[in-house]
Structure 1
Amino acid sequence: MSTNTLAKNQFGKRPNNWIECEPFLKETFIDIVQKASSFLDEHSWEANPQVQYLSHYLTSLKAKSLVVEYHYIDRHFMEEASLYYSKSLIPRPNWTTRVHVFSDLMDEERIDEAMRTAASGYIAKVTEELQQSYCGYIVIRPLPSAPIGRTVLKHLKCREGDKKREFLTCQAYTIHFLGFELTVHGIAFQQQDRAVAACATTAIWSSLQRVTRREGARSPTSWEITEAAVRHYLPRGRPYPSSGLTIEQMCEALRAFGFAPDLLVAEESSSPNEFLLLMDIYLRSGIPIILTFRTGEWGHAVTVVGYGTSHKISTPYEISSGEKTYKIVLHNLDYDRIYIHDDRLGPYARSTLNIGKQSLTDNETSSPPQLAINIEWPNGQMEEHSVYLAAVPVYPKLRTSAKELFETAMELFPYLTEALSDLNQELGLLVYFERSGEYQASLYGKTVNPSRVPQFQKTIALSRYVGVHRWYLDGMPFMETLWDTTDTMRENRYGENLLGVTCLKPSLQTFVDGLASRYNAVLG
């Protein structure tokens, strides 16, 4: 049956879904995308870079089977079809195709047997078996040139030789598959369609997938984001087809959904390392970052969703205080790559942020080193661009910025260095924000004195988000200081904003007790 006949059989009739199972091959996946996206006969159709990238990514996930739902209602595309594509001369169908990815062999006989077994009272057992091999799903839109819609795939585990690969911005998505409730841990990606959504809209869309759902709200569609961005500020003419968003429009869109952005401008940072450090604070806090960079005359935006490193890169950094210079290991700089959702490419694309060399101007003065992003394409090609800024969608009551939280630690650092100098151990620091409930739960897995935990948990009053300074000696954590984030950090920040101190090393309990008493903080 041709794809054109497929579409004609659906228009004006009560829809029927149908399921097909296919063993995974790159060529098979590409054929499925062509069939599902070409609602007209498209003899000249070619797989674009996003489809090619996903075929490689599914190979890396060790996909074995694809289970295809050929009639799936996707809320995000349904709204775009209703408000934009339905008004075209050739209207698109308002349904999509959803491809489920499994790392085990699935065929029609096995699926039928799974449903019969579940109907016999063993649904929990069958669900668990399906869950073990479930890798996520890909929505295919009826847009031949931009077929990849809302896609949630699990991220790759650490490869051999990797020290770590962290995706703290990811979350659990619930999927209903033939009556079974499955989950996948990831963050949604989609390809820009250049009509309703350009790159900035898509980057915002991915970031809001995380932060809105984390606060109990429904994630907005691309249409809602574009409408919010251009509602009060439209310097480039008509919003549709979308030609992209300015920084002001991006900020307007984030504010419209309740997340005031913290803007980190690369050229305004005191150094590239400061920019990298502040980015890491937010990523470790589970907040995806919208990163913009220059590509020739145009700008481009991606969503940073993770970070990693392939080797130990902890090195001491010098901090000046008065006439003295101290050295500290900043664990927020222990990464040498980032993972991005790039709508020109695909989800979890690997890239690096590199500090360029200083260049000399005509008058022999040195210019600041530039921060560059290097994006790795599946064919091994590296694409380098100059970083412009990062926009961070921050929960409105999280009023303390990453920079303020870090600067607060630097004020305490000289005192700790002097007080612990007899130990002759290297002092280190990690800074991040955390939901207070999650922090309190984490205490049960840390080396806190068990006899102190009940009083600490019952006594301390925490803001919804707390700032955390985790202090290290020779790479081992010994103390955490907790900060109120619902106010700005004023001069007397230790008296006003320090909420509690927890000791993670029993031999230093007396020292930590004295620090907590000094600032009247709750002791753990």
Structure 2
Amino acid sequence: MPGMNAGIKINNTINDALDDEYLGSSAISKYILDYLSELGVKSFLVEENYIDKDYLIDFSKFYSRSFGDCKKFTKRIHFFSENFERQEIANALENENSEANTRIEESYLGFAVVRPIKDRLGNNIIGRTLLKPYNEFVDGSEGTKRILLTDQYAVNIFGKQLELETLPFQTQDQAVGACATTACWIAQCALTNIFGIEKISPIEITEISVAFPALSRNIPSDGLTYPQIKAFFNTVGLDTEFIDPNVIRSKPYYRNTGSDIVADIAKGYLTDLKIPIIVGLRIVDENNNVVAMHAAVISGYRHKNGVVERLYVHDDQIGPYSRVFPVRDFLSWDNTWSKKPGIKELTVNRLIVPLYPKIRHSFANIYAIFLQHYKPRLEAIRASPGFDSGVRFELFITEVKRYKQFIRKHSIKDKIAILSKPYPRFLWIIRLQSPTKIYADFVFDATSVFTTEPFDHIRYTT
């Protein structure tokens, strides 16, 4: 098929992806290529004149009404961990039984959409991007594991269907929405399957959010305020929990517990139900002045036997799954931002958790119970016979169907009675476990306004 072969652009020189006709050479584009290099990227395929839904909506609402010659088609670049020739790709598209099909499926690393517009520095704007995440288990480090926000996405390349499990990313396009808009867009991608909300484009998020007025232009957007972020999630049918970590750190029950509030919130919402957390950050200069506010999405964490070593963040100014290390604890971040000239530190101001309205038992309340009534018991438990070294309590939220599926796979005392017992839809779990064993779950009703006692106590028998 000569015609099809001629239309396929496959490049086995991966650094060519930074050419201006592809990703471009912005810091974000370089991050994407560095990220892919860790996954073993070797080649890329270019899909010209790609219609991207999010950009098409932004185009129709904003760019199509501009005087400049703005195009409505984007360019989509697909990445692979193997080298391919054009004829191999053509054969795979033409013949489903071609040997190249398996290689394409197994080596696929994802794609990045390049919008046909530039930012204020003349860089290509990276649109909707889906890249394969890091592996769950860390090579060469026993007991170290990554918990990452992902969902299943279908990708169609010239009619060939591929699957990718990841969390979408894109950079900010300040004409239609700044960092907080992008953070809301990323968060809604993770929330769609959890809570059944509709996915909408960045400019639609901005339009909804600015219904709550602020003293800045609606479009072009200077960014969203906290009330505007709340207004967006309220409009799509969700509630939001705004957590000020410094308020919790000031509580008497928090002191001398050795806890890290930001890490504990990440574990609480990401471990099981995989609810994204929008983080509001202060950027502080060398004179201790807050020079800017920034928003990003905590999209995962890495822990060793329960101790969080790093966070992963979808940051529209850095890239997907970017690493964040603690400065003492995760209230202050060590990442790309903190290394910029003139920046002294990056500190967490607020953590914003979009929630289904029936989740009424707040993190602040359950965390107080966790720190006051469970964590202090650890010393006595560790001194008792029958417990492995490294035994600890963990706190996380889950949904009843997920929890009962988990129960079915484990040896539990009175399993049938527990499985047949009515439970509320959402549950807070305080789990006693070691690196190799689960001992007990204390189950709290997350749909209640406030409760201090678990309504069930699950004992694991092996």
TM-score by length of 2: 0.85
Q: Is the 8 A contact 2:338 2:346 kept in 1?
A: no
Q: Is the 8 A contact 1:375 1:383 kept in 2?
A: no
What residue is the counterpart of 1:244 in the other structure? 223
Tell me, in whole angstroms, the C-alpha distance in 1 between the residues paired with 2:340 and 2:109: 25
Q: Please, which moves more after superposition, 275-284 or 370-379?
A: 370-379
2:261 counterpart of 1:274:
yes
Alpha-carbon distance, 1:263 to partner: 1.1
Q: Is the 8 A contact 1:138 1:150 kept in 2?
A: yes
CA deviation profile, 1:206-263 (whole Å, cap 9, x unmatched): 11110123233332211111111101x2222321111111111112112222221111
What residue is the counterpart of 1:337 in the other structure? 310
Tell me, in whole angstroms, the C-alpha distance in 1 between the residues paired with 2:247 and 2:350: 9
Distance 1:81 1:372, change over 3 A: same
Tell me, in whole angstroms, the C-alpha distance in 1 between the residues paired with 2:260 and 2:41: 38
Q: Counterpart amino acid of 1:58?
A: L
Q: Is the 8 A contact 1:251 1:261 kept in 2?
A: yes
What residue is the counterpart of 1:290 in the other structure? 278
Q: Size of the alignment, in residue pairs?
A: 432
CA deviation profile, 1:260-311 (whole Å, cap 9, x unmatched): 11111132122572343223211223111111211242101111101114xx
Q: Is the 8 A contact 1:228 1:252 kept in 2?
A: yes
Q: 1:83 aligns with which of 49, 61, 65?
A: 61
What residue is the counterpart of 2:326 in the other structure? 353
Q: Is the 8 A contact 2:432 2:439 kept in 1?
A: yes
What residue is the counterpart of 1:301 in the other structure? 295
Q: 2:354 aligns with which of 368, 387, 393?
A: 393
Alpha-carbon distance, 1:502 to partner: 2.5
Q: Counterpart amino acid of 1:142?
A: P
2:186 counterpart of 1:206:
yes
Distance 1:274 1:126, change over 3 A: same
2:17 counterpart of 1:56:
no
CA deviation profile, 1:125-172 (whole Å, cap 9, x unmatched): 876543211111111100133420000101122554555342342111
Distance 1:19 1:436, change over 3 A: farther
* Larger Rg computed on CA atoms: 1
Q: Is the 8 A contact 1:18 1:70 kept in 2?
A: no
Distance 1:373 1:178, change over 3 A: same
Q: 1:69 aligns with which of 43, 47, 52?
A: 47
> Is the partner of 2:335 in helix, strand or coil?
strand
Q: Is the 8 A contact 2:248 2:364 kept in 1?
A: no
Q: 1:431 aligns with which of 391, 395, 411?
A: 395
Q: 1:375 aligns with which of 335, 346, 361?
A: 335
Tell me, in whole angstroms, the C-alpha distance in 1 between the residues paired with 2:381 and 2:299: 38
Tell me, in whole angstroms, the C-alpha distance in 1 between the residues paired with 2:232 and 2:144: 33
Tell me, in whole angstroms, the C-alpha distance in 2 between the residues paired with 1:341 and 1:422: 42
Alpha-carbon distance, 1:417 to partner: 7.6
Distance 1:378 1:275, change over 3 A: closer
Tell me, in whole angstroms, the C-alpha distance in 1 between the residues paired with 2:7 and 2:344: 41
Q: Please, which moves more after superposition, 125-134 or 103-112?
A: 125-134
Alpha-carbon distance, 1:335 to partner: 0.5
Structure 2's unaligned 5+ residue stretches are 1-5, 251-258, 284-289
What residue is the counterpart of 1:35 in the other structure? 21
Tell me, in whole angstroms, the C-alpha distance in 2 between the residues paired with 1:208 and 1:392: 11
Alpha-carbon distance, 1:81 to partner: 0.5
Alpha-carbon distance, 1:205 to partner: 1.0
> Is the partner of 2:92 in helix, strand or coil?
helix
Tell me, in whole angstroms, the C-alpha distance in 2 between the residues paired with 1:192 and 1:443: 42
Tell me, in whole angstroms, the C-alpha distance in 2 between the residues paired with 1:422 and 1:23: 60
Structure 1's unaligned 5+ residue stretches are 1-16, 38-45, 315-330, 357-369, 507-524
> Is the partner of 2:95 in helix, strand or coil?
helix
Distance 1:411 1:159, change over 3 A: closer
Q: 1:464 aligns with which of 425, 432, 446?
A: 425
CA deviation profile, 1:182-202 (whole Å, cap 9, x unmatched): 111111110111110101111
2:96 counterpart of 1:136:
no
What residue is the counterpart of 2:11 in the other structure? 22
Distance 1:217 1:127, change over 3 A: farther
> Is the partner of 2:249 in helix, strand or coil?
coil
Alpha-carbon distance, 1:64 to partner: 1.7
Q: Counterpart amino acid of 2:21?
A: K
Alpha-carbon distance, 1:36 to partner: 5.1
Q: Counterpart amino acid of 2:76?
A: R
Tell me, in whole angstroms, the C-alpha distance in 2 between the residues paired with 1:159 and 1:378: 25
Q: Counterpart amino acid of 2:325?
A: T
Q: 2:210 aligns with which of 213, 227, 230?
A: 230
Tell me, in whole angstroms, the C-alpha distance in 2 between the residues paired with 1:416 and 1:304: 29
Q: Is the 8 A contact 1:201 1:245 kept in 2?
A: yes
Tell me, in whole angstroms, the C-alpha distance in 2 between the residues paired with 1:53 and 1:260: 34
What residue is the counterpart of 2:198 in the other structure? 218
> Is the partner of 2:448 in helix, strand or coil?
coil
Alpha-carbon distance, 1:475 to partner: 6.4
Q: Counterpart amino acid of 1:347?
A: P
Tell me, in whole angstroms, the C-alpha distance in 1 between the residues paired with 2:279 and 2:226: 11
Q: Is the 8 A contact 2:188 2:197 kept in 1?
A: no
Tell me, in whole angstroms, the C-alpha distance in 2 between the residues paired with 1:432 and 1:207: 19
Q: Is the 8 A contact 1:53 1:378 kept in 2?
A: no
Tell me, in whole angstroms, the C-alpha distance in 2 between the residues paired with 1:420 and 1:297: 47
Tell me, in whole angstroms, the C-alpha distance in 2 between the residues paired with 1:429 and 1:486: 22
Alpha-carbon distance, 1:415 to partner: 7.7
Alpha-carbon distance, 1:18 to partner: 4.4
Tell me, in whole angstroms, the C-alpha distance in 1 between the residues paired with 2:279 and 2:189: 16
